[in-house]
Amino acid sequence: MIRIRNLWKTYNGNAVLSGLDLDVNENEILVILGRSGVGKSVLLRHIIGIEQPDKGTIDVDGVRISELKNQQLLQAVRNMGMLFQGSALFDSMNIEENTAFYLHQHGRSLAQERLTKSDIREKVDIALKRVGLEGTQKKMPSDLSGGMRKRAGLARLLVYRPSILLYDEPTTGLDPVTAQQISDLIVQTQNELKGTSIVVTHDIASALTIADRLALHRNGKIAYAAKPDEFIQINDPIINFMRDALTHCLRKEIP
């Protein structure tokens, strides 16, 4: 379980996180919605330890990672993985090398298995097949479409099987069909790893497809958190806009 209390982060006098509280339950997909630029991605970077808060606490499975640094922090977040908005693939590495990066760096999986080069190659092949990218091992990131790069980034998570998965705008910039494929892969990955997932997005259609719970990030805080059926009925200007936008899109799709 992830427990966040009174989290603050300020950049150049602008409070992006303003006393944010949030609980993320084990084995759920929590989707955090909100307007662009309100600090949703900043929250993810704090959970995985890339950034440190100005004030407040983040507890992950009873460990207060917000107070850890260096090797202690690295050890505490080893069971986490993040799919960055731009996929964050290394341009100089092919897809096989990108997918295997974590295992090559740490020399073993999260299950503490010692891995040979043959073991790593096999795990990479399996991970790429699961996201529909078999045969792309020797391709470079520049050879792939945006949707394929997202799937390659997801394969990089699958290969070492983290128990906490963070997704930063996973469907941004994708066409509706590809966005749905990525959403389906997020659910499949959750079911396979039986982990805990946090998805940051402003894509309400994708959110309703994958979420066990939805949360609204506004003014540096979590304004609401509820199951999808309850969330979409909340009388709030932002949620009303999302609901109306979704209804409009569905009407356009009906011939």
In the chain, where the domains are located: 1-79+165-182+196-255, 86-162
R_g of the chain, CA atoms, integer Å: 18
Tell me the two tokens of residue 62: 């009873």
Q: What is the DSSP letter of 134?
A: T
What is the reported pLDDT for 193? 86
What is the reported pLDDT for 115? 79
> Which ranges in the chain belong to alpha helices (H)?
40-47, 70-76, 95-99, 101-106, 117-130, 146-158, 176-193, 204-210, 228-231, 237-253
What is the reported pLDDT for 249? 61
What is the reported pLDDT for 9? 96
What is the reported pLDDT for 103? 86
Q: Tell me: domain 1-79+165-182+196-255, CATH 1.25.40.10, correct?
A: no
What is the reported pLDDT for 107? 60
Model confidence, pTM = 0.89
Question: What residues in the chain have per-residue pLDDT under 50?
Answer: 254-255
What is the reported pLDDT for 254? 47
**29 close to 201: Cβ distance less than 8 angstroms:** no
Q: Please report, for residues 174, 200, 216, the alpha-carbon distance to residue 169 in angstroms, rounded to integers and kept in the order given.
A: 10, 5, 14
The distance from CA 88 to its chain's CA centroid, rounded to whole angstroms, is 13
What is the reported pLDDT for 248? 59
